[in-house]
Copies of this chain bind each other. A is one copy, B any other.
Amino acid sequence: MDDEQYAAGLRMLAEVGASAPEAMIDSLREVSPELGRQTIAWGFGEIYARPGLSPRDRQLVTLGVLTALGGCEPQLEAHVDLALNVGLTREQVVEALLHAAVYAGFPRALNATLAAKRAFDARE
């Protein structure tokens, strides 16, 4: 990952108004700056920035993945916030998590929905 890809990741993050990655980078600074760098350079600069799928569509996929994984509530909060930045409404986020209950079960959907609530509250 060269500096260009990292810069592309930062541009992508700025474009979608993501603030959480900065906090993540800070939390990793002492322990694994490379993990933070890869998240931005590869995750956002290389994959997220690809033109084949809109940020709004990507966030729907991400909400599905994170809900199903479980145990990723902090990431869910960040991605719910990002989802709202790129065009999903709160109602759509909440409906997406209800929809996920069919496939991932109620406990995962409940945990994800409470994370969404925290993300909503943090915007106020």
Contact = CB atoms under 8 A, between A and B. Distances in A.
A85 interface: no
Interface size class of A (residues with CB under 8 A): 35 or more
Contacts of A75: 103, 107, 110
- Chain A interface, DSSP helix/strand/loop, else mixed: helix
A97 interface: yes
A7 interface: no
Give the one of A39, A43, A103 with max B CB within 10 A: A103
Contacts of A113: 28, 31-32, 35
Contact of A110 (B34, B39, B42, B92): B39
Contacts of A58: 96, 99
